């Protein structure tokens, strides 16, 4: 059975790159009816806080990803937090030491750092093996007497050919001479990432390791550890990096970069899910909009691209807009309500507000847009400042329309059909084109010649407010004309 994992370090919010990695693992597992596992690389105790873990779980759940096994759910291969697996790491470290595939180094991390700096100053090549040769029995004895824990270094065999059989990139060749012995357990007793992840993947029967391209350089070292412990290799698939539009690696200088950021900005999880699925993967038919079920059905690692994926925020907004347009008005009102309530504490999802969000959805890219868009309906409207709008209002035909509305508004029943019948009748009664009627009314009531359908503007404002706004416009025209 296919078994994949997402193993974040819970030290902050999930970056979109990590979210995309989780998504590809999720889609691959679901497509193949396999198991998707969530485990925590939480050995950095200073940064792996309970709050960071809760935030990560909230974001990944909001995003639409659920897991079958692991953190909070349990399973047959736990524990699923690295901080709880130290005995396992130490067990396999003892095996490597016993078989001569690793050696202890009786220096603290700080001492090693100072030795490296001395080598760099003298232009000499540093290696752990050289430091080991200089160690001496006295140092070993002193280290033990102080109760200190030695670091453990993996011994790399020279001139060993290492081939990473990568599903996305094909065979990638390395030679062990490209890197030297490397630490697998620090002097504080904590295993390094390259070591712990091998133990976890092997013992949890992970069949496919799907992760970002930046981890490809770690893979040969991990393969050496797999081989030394006689563990079978998983399949590897290294997916492309995510770049900003300027072709540099996506970072905070480009704006929002975490799932939490986009969540707070008012993006919909369905849009984010769809958008990230297309960063580095594309279907054969070139479509851009998918349900979760369709993505699961179509996703394969063979369709993942090698080239960097471009994170285009304008495209994400466009896609989010499309999802907003398709929402039921009750759902949209519920989602928009937190933003509306911040500006208008007494507002609720009544019939009028449902019409409001339904009217404005076509101009929304993200949920908070509803606040600015709703201002013409929920706050007072001043006299337009734009020259085009002023010219429309001061036209003699516009004044004729305004006066006729005021004279006959009491006879208008404020329902869609009745309002439209009245407005259509103005063309014949006043001898004016639709443009000469609709543009001045929109400017007077909404502040712009383009916008929602007039019948919606009438109902949203209500009869009394329509009268007040038309009277205000006529008064301003009179003052300016005098």
Question: Do the Cβ atoms of 367 and 325 come closer than 8 Å?
Answer: no
The candidate with the shortest Cα–Cα distance to 18, out of 50, 40, 3, is 40
Strand partners, 166: 170, 236
CA 284, chain centre distance (Å): 24
Q: What SS3 state is found at 294? A: helix
Coil, strand or helix at 153: strand
d(CA 85, CA 37): 16
Any residues with CB less than 8 A from the CB of 260 and at least 6 apart, and which? 13, 14, 55, 59
Other beta carbons less than 10 A from residue 8's beta carbon: 23
Question: Dmax of the chain from CA atoms?
Answer: 108
The verdict on whether omega for the bond into residue 389 sits within 30 degrees of 0, i.e. cis, is no
Instruction: Choose, from 252, 306, 341, 348, the residue flagged as catalytic.
Output: 252
367 — phi, psi (to 5°)?
A: -60, -40
Burial 430-444 (b: 16+ CB within 10 A, else e): eebeeebbbbbbbbb
Say if residues 169 and 301 touch (Cβ distance below 8 Å).
Answer: no
Decide: helix, strand or coil at residue 170.
Answer: strand
Catalytic site includes residue 252: yes
Burial of 457: CB neighbours in 10 Å, binned 0-12, 13-18, 19+: buried
- Per-residue burial over 250-289, b = 16 or more CB atoms within 10 Å of its CB, e = otherwise: beeeeebbbbbbbbebbbbbbbbbbbbbbbbbbbeeeeee
Taking the C-alpha atoms of residue 225 and residue 249, their distance in angstroms, rounded to an integer, is 30
Q: CA–CA separation, 252 vs 263, rounded Å?
A: 16
Q: Are 194 and 235 in contact (CB under 8 A)?
A: no
Residues marked as catalytic = 252
């Amino acid at each position: 059975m296919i078994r994949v994992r997402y193993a974040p370090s819970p030290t902050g919010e999930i970056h979109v790159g990590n979210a995309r990695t989780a998504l590809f693992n999720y889609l691959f597992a679901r497509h193949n009816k396999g198991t998707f596992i969530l485990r925590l690389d939480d050995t950095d105790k200073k940064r792996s806080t309970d709050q960071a873990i809760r935030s990560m779980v909230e974001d990944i759940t909001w995003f639409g990803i659920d897991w079958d096994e692991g953190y909070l759910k349990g399973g047959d291969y736990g524990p699923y937090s690295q901080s709880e697996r130290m005995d396992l790491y130490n067990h396999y470290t003892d095996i490597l030491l016993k078989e001569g595939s690793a050696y202890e180094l009786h220096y603290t991390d700080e001492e090693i750092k100072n030795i490296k700096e001395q080598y760099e100053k003298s232009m000499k090549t540093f290696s752990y093996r050289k430091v080991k040769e200089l160690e001496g029995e006295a140092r070993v004895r002193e280290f033990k007497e102080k109760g200190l824990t030695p670091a453990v270094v993996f011994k790399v065999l020279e001139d060993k050919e290492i081939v990473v059989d990568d599903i996305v990139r094909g065979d990638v060749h390395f030679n062990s001479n490209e890197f030297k012995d490397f630490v697998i357990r620090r002097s504080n007793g904590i295993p390094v990432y390259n070591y712990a992840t091998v133990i976890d993947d092997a013992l949890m029967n992970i069949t496919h390791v799907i992760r970002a391209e930046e981890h490809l350089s770690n893979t040969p070292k991990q393969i050496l550890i797999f081989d030394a412990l006689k563990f079978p290799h998983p399949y590897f698939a290294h997916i492309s990096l995510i770049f900003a539009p300027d072709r540099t690696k996506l970072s905070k200088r480009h704006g929002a970069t975490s799932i939490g950021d986009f969540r707070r900005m008012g993006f919909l999880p369905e849009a984010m899910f769809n958008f990230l699925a297309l960063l580095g993967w594309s279907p054969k038919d070139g479509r851009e909009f998918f349900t979760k079920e369709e993505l699961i059905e179509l996703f394969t690692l063979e369709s993942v691209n090698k080239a960097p994926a471009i994170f285009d925020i304008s495209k994400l907004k466009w896609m989010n807009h499309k999802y907003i347009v398709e929402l039921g008005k009750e759902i949209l009102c519920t989602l928009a309500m937190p933003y509306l309530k911040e500006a208008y504490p007494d507002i609720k999802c009544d019939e009028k507000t449902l019409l409001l969000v339904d009217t404005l959805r076509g101009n929304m890219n993200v949920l908070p847009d509803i606040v600015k868009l709703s201002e013409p309906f929920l706050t007072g409207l001043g006299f337009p400042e734009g020259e085009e709008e002023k010219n429309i209002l001061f036209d003699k035909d516009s004044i004729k329309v305004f006066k006729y509305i005021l004279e006959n508004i009491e006879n208008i029943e404020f329902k869609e059909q009745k309002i439209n019948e009245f407005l259509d009748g103005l063309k014949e009664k006043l001898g004016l084109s639709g443009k000469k009627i609709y543009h001045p009314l929109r400017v007077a009531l909404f502040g712009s010649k383009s916008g929602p359908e007039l019948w919606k503007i009438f109902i949203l404002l209500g009869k009394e407010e329509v009268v007040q706004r038309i009277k205000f416009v006529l008064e301003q025209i009179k003052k300016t004309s005098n």
